[in-house]
Amino acid sequence: MTDDALIALRPWEAPEVTSWGRLPMNAVDRRSGALPLDGDWCFQLLPTPDAPVGGAWSSAYVPGVWTMQGTDDLPQYLNVRMPFPEFPPHSPAANPTGVYERELDVPAEWAGRRIVLQVGAAESVLLVHVDGRPVGVSKDSHLAAEFDLTGLVAPGSPGTLRLTVVKWSDASHIEDQDQWWHGGITRSVLLYATDPLHLADVTVRASHAGELQVDCRVRDAGGALPEGWYVSGELDGLLLAQDAEFDRFNREDDRVSDFLGEARLADTVPDVRTWNAEQPELYDLTVRLHRADGTVADTARHRIGFRDVEIAGRDLLVNGERVFIRGVNRHDFHPLTGRTVSYDDMRADLITLKRFGFNAIRTSHYPNDPALYDLADELGFYVVDEADIESHDHAHEIADDPRYLNAFVDRVSRMVLRDKNHPSVIVWSLGNESDYGANHDAAAGWVRRHDPTRPVQYEGAAKLDWAAADDASDIACPMYAPLEECVEHALSGRQTRPLIWCEYSHAMGNSNGTLADHWAAIESTPGLQGGFIWELWDHGILQRVNDGRPVGRGGAGLYDNGVAAPGHRWAYGGDFGEVRHDGAFIADGVVLPDRTPKPVMYEHREIAAPVRIECFRHEGIVLGNHQHFRGLDRLAAEWELSLADGRTLTSPAELPDLRPGETAAVPLPFELPEDGGEAWLTLRVTTAGDEPWAPRGTVVCAPQVRLREAVPHVPVAVRNRSVEVDDDGLLVHPLLTRAPTLSLWRAPTDNDELGGMAARWRDWGLDAPVRKVAHIRQTPGQVTVHAEYVSEAGVVRHVQVLTAVEGGIHVAESAELPERLDDVARVGSVFETIAGLDLMEWYGQGPWESYPDRAFGAPVGHHAVPVDELFTPYLRPQESGGRHGVRHFTLSAPDATGLTVVLDEPRQVGVSRYRAADLTSVTHHDELVPRASCAVHIDAAHRGLGTASCGPDTFASYLVAPGVHRWSWTLRAL
Ligand code: GAL
Ligand code: MG
């Protein structure tokens, strides 16, 4: 075929063509010993795939997306809608096509060897040419494609390799995942050599009983089986049972033209150390292909784990245990490189997850880089490996379209063939949001026959009837199904298979309300086993504000703690001038774009606590081990007693020897002082030694129990001091620049906006009610102000009783919400302080941000955080920085002046450099201008956060009800 012939075939509009000239997928890792071809390549971007290649070359870095490397083709964010109107299998005429070229220097010593090109990933169609000769085509943007270049390249003399990458194709219609659209070669390119007769595949089965079976395939594209060759296996340096001679191979095909043979090694490992996510024990397996004289012709290395996965009734079992799936959905993402993620970044992702109590990953929505699975094996994660199929916009047409049948089976089977030897992979997923059709059944059939050792899941199949037993999913894996429906199903007696959300608790902006309620139900309801939070990343791309360009690879150091450097911002949908886009819906992760954990991560860590305080009884504190496999031996702990009067006492803790599921009582570590008020006991649990994912002393969890209730605070009124108010009845106070008024509003969160609540609040006028003073009554040492807050929704009556008390002013308030205001953001006071108060110290839950329905496990104690750091820089500014369960707090300047507030009961408090109106008036964090003062909110009631941006809202119990709310607080100067 000539150069142009391949282009003339227009493979980008032929869904039946999944590849041409591509080698079969296999699980033999060829990365070590390979010749890397990463680096700067000659590059040009054509307007269409059939445009002539010009003479003007620029350069592009491989691996990388051109959309973030200075071209005019920029990233575009769309969720469901395709970026072009053409129906499948068509693509638009304007179709950016990247031509990558470089010289190939094949080492002279590779002469006589089989030479293979591996392109790690390219989206969406890859065409390969060597010296102008067409070599092959590949689709499937998240799996490697290999091509045999033997005979096309001459070892020792240079040749030219051209990789043409067509952005839009028939394949785009099944790669319609909710993420940025890019184009480019996103994973490494390499060249390797083998003997002509080589290990073509290795399939490992290793059970938790220690049985090992290794199936080896050898192939010679042009030869026949030579006499006497054999394979051997070594496990952690020990030779596996007898070598299998080729004669014992089951020859599938020994035609001289293409020899393929199979041999099996089988052994049993005594006292095997089994693999699980808590104790990811791995063994080094080396498989060697020997020539007749014993010399080694080929080697395959695997790190394998002995473990079983099975479904028993409605439980998914790992090594016989019903493990909880504390999962997250992970996209490949980096703020500088888009879809290209380095090994170090993948490792950092997984380490972060491990430190925050996650044990599972769904590779939403495509197979990841091979290194990710190595890391999951090593660090301990259960992986749901998902095929690169999402036809969201045209789901119904494609699911049964036979033109796409091949692509479905190809994508699923290639994933399975590549990843089958990873102990971390416990479930295969057929893809995402592609309706359900015959193409899925075909793919499921392939997997079930080829790998009966793992279940298959597909949300689109199971959603038709969670209780069905004969569809393409072995697991009911709903998305965002409300908790009560799941519980009801589990209790219905109809459940036939495990229920594990493939997506739940949508993390867009300030979100993840009711996560702890979900886990309370999961842990107490047989049949519920966990799920995967949507999602790990806020996909904000680092962008220069002045020219709107992505910063790209050179941008390391241009962000810190979740915030982009001045002149930069985290771009979301629409920020690259896209006309069609889905805005900030791309920012829906539990980490900010630089992997700074959002507050929900800390809550998750506590929800997943391996050690818990079950209760406090007369005989002491009852501790429980909530792991599935491990004892408490690799954990250290310390007790901390936190008293409301400001004292914190610590003492070393001895963790009892507990097997999973066991509990034991330990004596109370402290004699509780008679005085000191409310008392909380915390067990600070840390890693006892260095772990691969955390150095010694890293916090694992901090379970807590209250030992003594609070003593009510009774302020003592003084009559000899007056309270000053202005003509409007507003408090005049030297520490306040804005007097306390009533607040019914918060800067809407993404959940508030997309769930429709914010629109109602605006319709009601709650963002700017008009305050009218109805009545001011003054008596010695006390002022009572009756005000009305008038809005579209009616009148909210507000009463403030300001009383001079010892050292300050006591403020007792009430607000009466008419019935119509049946769901508001908050009811409380808001005021502003003088400038210079930079430090917030409080007794209450913390130190991280918390809200009524996201306050689990933030320990009650004495916390101190600079005011600037209270705020979480959510990409689209919104309500942020709140702290739940605050009993008292101070705001102080470095010279220790400032104010203190004592609350009548634990309340939601927000201290911020921004007013709610500041936050709502901008679209990106970089537009915010911090005020010198603090805007302080004290809430009688604050609405839960829920997850309504995509999924259920908060529970009714976290809503702010109409009627009368009362709260009081005391303000004192320090
Ligand atoms: C799901 C989908 C994800 C993402 C999420 C919303 O429906 O599978 O890819 O779009 O919703 O953020
Ligand atoms: Mg989708």
What is the per-residue pLDDT across 186-217, written as a single tens digit (0 to 9) for each?
A: 999 999 999 999 999 999 999 999 999 999 99
Report the run of H or E that residue 761 belongs to, with start and end.
helix 757-764
Q: What is the pLDDT of residue 247?
A: 41
Identify the residue whose C-alpha is closest to ligand 1 atom 2: 178
Tens digit of pLDDT for each residue in 723-766? Answer: 999 999 999 999 999 999 999 999 999 999 999 999 999 999 99
Probe residue for ligand 1, chosen from 79, 511, 539 as the CB with the greatest number of ligand atoms within 8 Å: 79
Whether residue 451 has its Cβ less than 6 Å from ligand 1 = no
Report the run of H or E that residue 353 belongs to, with start and end.
helix 343-355
Probe residue for ligand 1, chosen from 78, 365, 503 as the CB with the greatest number of ligand atoms within 8 Å: 503
Contact 457, 477 (CB under 8 A): yes
Contact 502, 477 (CB under 8 A): yes
Report the run of H or E that residue 938 belongs to, with start and end.
strand 935-942
Ligand closest to Cα of 174 equals: 2
Ligand closest to Cα of 573 equals: 1
Q: Which of 379, 401, 381, 382 is nearest to 391 (CA)?
A: 401
Identify the residue whose C-alpha is closest to ligand 1 atom 10: 178
Q: What is the pLDDT of residue 720?
A: 85
Tens digit of pLDDT for each residue in 436-463? Answer: 999 999 999 999 999 999 999 999 999 9
Q: What is the pLDDT of residue 258?
A: 53
Ligand closest to Cα of 390 equals: 2
Probe residue for ligand 1, chosen from 534, 754, 947 as the CB with the greatest number of ligand atoms within 8 Å: 534
CA distances from 897 to 392, 811, 888 (A): 58, 21, 16
Q: How far, in Å, from the CA of 79 to the mean position of ligand 1?
A: 8
Q: Supply the mean pLDDT for the chain.
A: 95
Distance between CA atoms of 130 and 162, rounded to whole angstroms?
Answer: 6
Q: Which has more confidence, 714 or 416? A: 416
Probe residue for ligand 1, chosen from 504, 582, 950 as the CB with the greatest number of ligand atoms within 8 Å: 950
Whether residue 849 has its Cβ less than 6 Å from ligand 1 = no
- Per-residue pLDDT for 250 more than 60? no
CA distances from 764 to 774, 786, 799, 818, 946 (A): 21, 22, 21, 12, 21
- Per-residue pLDDT for 224 more than 90? no
Q: Which residue has the tokens 């600070």?
A: 684
Q: What is the pLDDT of residue 4?
A: 72
Could you tell me which residues come within 8 angstroms of residue 282 by beta carbon, excluding any fewer than 6 positions away? 275, 303, 304, 305, 377, 378, 423
Distance between CA atoms of 504 and 532, rounded to whole angstroms?
Answer: 6
Distance between CA atoms of 919 and 940, rounded to whole angstroms?
Answer: 22
DSSP-derived secondary structure for 83-135: SS-PPTT---SS--EEEEEEEE---GGGTTSEEEEEEEEEESEEEEEETTEEE
Whether residue 537 has its Cβ less than 6 Å from ligand 1 = no
Buried b (16+ CB within 10 A) or exposed e, 757-783: bbebbeebbbbebebebeebeeeebbb
Q: What is the pLDDT of residue 161?
A: 98
Q: What is the pLDDT of residue 3?
A: 61
Q: What is the pLDDT of residue 29?
A: 95
What number of other Cβ atoms are within 10 A of residue 563's Cβ?
18
Q: What is the pLDDT of residue 254?
A: 43
H-type alpha helices, 177-228: none
Contact 944, 955 (CB under 8 A): yes
Contact 97, 165 (CB under 8 A): yes
Nearest atom in ligand 1 to 950's CA? 6
Q: How far, in Å, from the CA of 432 to the mean position of ligand 2?
A: 7
Q: What is the pLDDT of residue 253?
A: 45
Q: How far, in Å, from the CA of 475 to the mean position of ligand 2?
A: 20
Whether residue 79 has its Cβ less than 6 Å from ligand 1 = yes
Whether residue 176 has its Cβ less than 6 Å from ligand 1 = no
Distance between CA atoms of 470 and 199, rounded to whole angstroms?
Answer: 37
Identify the residue whose C-alpha is closest to ligand 1 atom 3: 178
Whether residue 178 has its Cβ less than 6 Å from ligand 1 = yes
Q: How far, in Å, from the CA of 177 to the mean position of ligand 1?
A: 8
Q: How far, in Å, from the CA of 419 to the mean position of ligand 2?
A: 24
Identify the residue whose C-alpha is closest to ligand 1 atom 11: 950
Probe residue for ligand 1, chosen from 175, 177, 178 as the CB with the greatest number of ligand atoms within 8 Å: 178
User: pLDDT > 90: what percent of the chain?
Assistant: 91
What is the rounded average pLDDT of the residues 544-560? Answer: 96
Q: How far, in Å, from the CA of 618 to the mean position of ligand 1?
A: 49
Tens digit of pLDDT for each residue in 668-703? Answer: 998 888 888 999 999 999 999 999 999 999 999 999
Whether residue 582 has its Cβ less than 6 Å from ligand 1 = no
Nearest atom in ligand 1 to 177's CA? 9
Tens digit of pLDDT for each residue in 582-605? Answer: 999 999 999 999 999 999 999 999
Residues, CB within 5 angstroms of ligand 2 (ion): 178, 392, 433
Contact 20, 137 (CB under 8 A): yes
- Per-residue pLDDT for 222 more than 80? no
Distance between CA atoms of 90 and 46, rounded to whole angstroms?
Answer: 19
Q: How far, in Å, from the CA of 395 to the mean position of ligand 2?
A: 10
Q: What is the pLDDT of residue 263?
A: 86
Q: How far, in Å, from the CA of 358 to the mean position of ligand 1?
A: 20
Whether residue 77 has its Cβ less than 6 Å from ligand 1 = no
Q: How far, in Å, from the CA of 86 to the mean position of ligand 1?
A: 23
Sign, CA dihedral 339-341-347-351, equals negative
Q: Give the CA count within 13 Å in the CB-facing half-sphere of 481.
A: 26
What is the rounded average pLDDT of the residues 145-170? Answer: 96
Whether residue 432 has its Cβ less than 6 Å from ligand 1 = yes
Q: How far, in Å, from the CA of 480 to the mean position of ligand 1?
A: 9
Q: What is the pLDDT of residue 259?
A: 60
- Per-residue pLDDT for 244 more than 70? no
3-state DSSP percent of the chain in helix, strand and coil, to 5: 15, 40, 45
- Per-residue pLDDT for 624 more than 70? yes
Q: How far, in Å, from the CA of 324 to the mean position of ligand 1?
A: 22
Q: How many residues does the chain have?
A: 974
Q: How far, in Å, from the CA of 446 to the mean position of ligand 2?
A: 24
Q: How far, in Å, from the CA of 66 to the mean position of ligand 1?
A: 25
Q: Which of 78, 40, 81 is nearest to 60 (CA)?
A: 40
Q: How confident is the model at residue 242 (pLDDT cuts 50, 70, 90)?
A: low
Q: How far, in Å, from the CA of 330 to the mean position of ligand 1?
A: 12
**Vertex 97: Cα angle to 91 and 102 (nearest 5):** 150
Q: How far, in Å, from the CA of 481 to the mean position of ligand 1?
A: 13
Q: What is the pLDDT of residue 715?
A: 85
Rg, C-alpha atoms of the chain: 31
Identify the residue whose C-alpha is closest to ligand 1 atom 6: 950
Q: How far, in Å, from the CA of 545 to the mean position of ligand 2?
A: 29
Buried b (16+ CB within 10 A) or exposed e, 629-653: bbebebbbbebbbbbbeeeebeeeb
Q: How far, in Å, from the CA of 506 to the mean position of ligand 1?
A: 9
Whether residue 503 has its Cβ less than 6 Å from ligand 1 = yes
Distance between CA atoms of 763 and 452, rounded to whole angstroms?
Answer: 57
* Phi–psi pair at 887, nearest 5 degrees: -95, -45
Distance between CA atoms of 192 and 149, rounded to whole angstroms?
Answer: 10
Distance between CA atoms of 49 and 99, rounded to whole angstroms?
Answer: 9
Contact 371, 343 (CB under 8 A): yes
Whether residue 950 has its Cβ less than 6 Å from ligand 1 = yes
* Max intra-chain CA distance, the chain: 110
Tens digit of pLDDT for each residue in 288-301? Answer: 999 989 999 999 99
pTM: 0.97
Whether residue 534 has its Cβ less than 6 Å from ligand 1 = yes
Q: What is the pLDDT of residue 711?
A: 85
Tens digit of pLDDT for each residue in 489-532? Answer: 999 999 999 999 999 999 999 999 999 999 999 999 999 999 99
Tens digit of pLDDT for each residue in 370-404? Answer: 999 999 999 999 999 999 999 999 999 999 999 99
Whether residue 433 has its Cβ less than 6 Å from ligand 1 = yes
Q: How confident is the model at residue 255 (pLDDT cuts 50, 70, 90)?
A: very low
CA distances from 69 to 96, 101, 595 (A): 14, 16, 22
Task: Enter the tokens of residue 654.
Answer: 């001895």
Nearest atom in ligand 1 to 588's CA? 12
Task: Enter the tokens of residue 648.
Answer: 């914190």
Contact 930, 924 (CB under 8 A): no
Whether residue 459 has its Cβ less than 6 Å from ligand 1 = no
